[in-house]
Amino acid sequence: MKTIYFFIALLSLCVLSPRETQSQWLQTNGPYGGTMSCFAVSGTTLFAGTFNAGIYVSTSNGENWIASNNGLTDDDIRELVGSGSNIFAGTYGGGVFLSTNNGSSWTAVNSGLTNLFINAIVVSGSNLFAGAYEGGVFRSTNNGASWTAVNSGLSNNKVQTLVVSGSNLFAGTYGGGVFRSTNVGASWTAVNSGLTHTNIYCLAVSGVNLFAGTATGGAFRSTNNGANWTAVNSGLNHGTVAALIISGSNIFAGTSGAGIFHSTNNGASWMAVNSGLGSMRVQALGLDISGSILAGTDGTGIFRSTNNGGSWTDINTGITNITVNAFAVSGANLFAGTNGAGVFHSGDGSNWSPVNSGLTEKGSGRWLFPDRIFLREHSEAFFYQLTMAQAGRQLTPDFPMMMFRH
């Protein structure tokens, strides 16, 4: 007898009548959230960039958000920077966009920009710099109307981040460490002594201290403009530092798996500050209009802390770029499995709330059973089980990857 093994999968066949195909769709009240990439403030307007959902704008300091993508032809936002009345957006594939009306409309400003995969934008006086992945650094002296490559001495052109400290411009690269320019990008010098991990994700400046977040080596600090570096990872128990932000004497590090860490002594020691944070994968850190800390997460949107990381509250109303992977229905209960934000429950299809107690990984596979929900984690080889009687109150590991035999 021939034996065949099948992994559990969900096959959805939808047969629509002509009348059904003419039906209209209505936006529900959630689930809110998404994967955030960057923040910027201009006057009383707060901007948030996302991976693959464009830009959101808030005029209420994050209490409510609206999409602001008119004229934006690339929705993969990697950087947002304010300069006077101008807002610049760096996109991964579409180059640089400029808004002069607080995000109401955007215009591409790419003349001379030979690489459109922009990871970083920074302003230094009358100069605007853009860092491109495998394109190096470009400079504009006319608000992005034209760009010129400034890569002399930049031996690695995979630019991930840019930061200004006085007359020094620093570029963090993937694989080449940190480079410094003292002449507005005309020439560059590698400054990597003591930097044992050269895949740089982010840079931040606090007085004479320059901090670097790396892909696998945690955080490093330099007190002499990059001439020498020292690892500063005491208490920082995750090697991937994706974001850094400075607020007064406070330094915050966002990691890709262990949440956010806080230091009050220039990185000499760190403490995890994750109470209320919806995801431990932090992609971006920023400051809101009042100076409170913003955290952009993978899947669960934006969180704010008004007490230096002591606690976090989500501020996602209107942000709907969350990715829903699967649905299950039982009676009046509707469940949605998301990419990074876990499971949401709704009793009416209009209002949603998270139901993730016991769920250690919030990236869901596909599931649908008549009396139970089975949720497969992306990174784990087992399913989670939820009976309808539990109505989303608790998820517990149930059984290994299951196969049917025929």
pLDDT in tens, 291-340: 999 999 988 889 999 999 999 999 988 887 666 666 666 677 777 777 66
pTM more than 0.85: no
Q: Which of 314, 335, 353 is the last residue of a domain?
A: 314
The token pair at 205 is 């400046």
Round to whole Å and give the CA distance between 124 and 331. Answer: 59
Same domain, 120 and 66: yes
Same domain, 136 and 236: yes
Q: Which of 266, 270, 293, 269 is nearest to 282 (CA)?
A: 293
Do the domain assignments include residue 30?
A: no
Residue 179 Rama label (left phi>0; alpha psi -120 to 50; beta): beta
Please give the chain's pLDDT, 406 residues, in tens.
333 333 333 333 333 344 444 456 565 666 677 789 999 999 999 999 999 889 999 999 999 999 999 999 999 999 999 998 999 999 999 999 999 999 999 999 999 999 999 999 999 999 999 999 999 999 999 999 999 999 999 999 999 999 999 999 999 999 999 999 999 999 999 999 999 999 999 999 999 999 999 999 999 999 999 999 999 999 999 999 999 999 999 999 999 999 999 999 999 999 999 999 988 999 999 999 999 999 999 888 899 999 999 999 999 888 876 666 666 666 777 777 776 677 777 877 667 777 777 765 555 444 444 444 444 444 333 333 444 334 444 444 333 333 223 3
CATH of the domain at 327: 2.40.10
Q: Which of 314, 337, 365 is the last residue of a domain?
A: 314
Provide the 10 A C-beta neighbour count for residue 221: 20
CATH of the domain at 307: 2.130.10.10
pLDDT at 364: 47
Do the domain assignments include residue 86?
A: yes
Q: Which of 286, 314, 342 is the last residue of a domain?
A: 314
Same domain, 347 and 252: no
Do the domain assignments include residue 12?
A: no
Same domain, 155 and 262: yes
Same domain, 178 and 89: yes
The residue segments making up the domain with residue 94 are 36-314
Do the domain assignments include residue 29?
A: no
Residues 6+ away with beta carbon under 8 Å from 32:
301, 314, 316, 317, 318, 319, 320, 322, 352
The residues pairing with 58 across neighbouring beta strands, listed in sequence order, are: 46
Q: Which of 180, 169, 78 is nearest to 127 (CA)?
A: 169
Count up the domains in the chain and report the number. Answer: 2
Same domain, 151 and 240: yes
- The tens digit of pLDDT for each residue in 24-65 reads 656 566 667 778 999 999 999 999 999 988 999 999 999 999
Same domain, 289 and 366: no
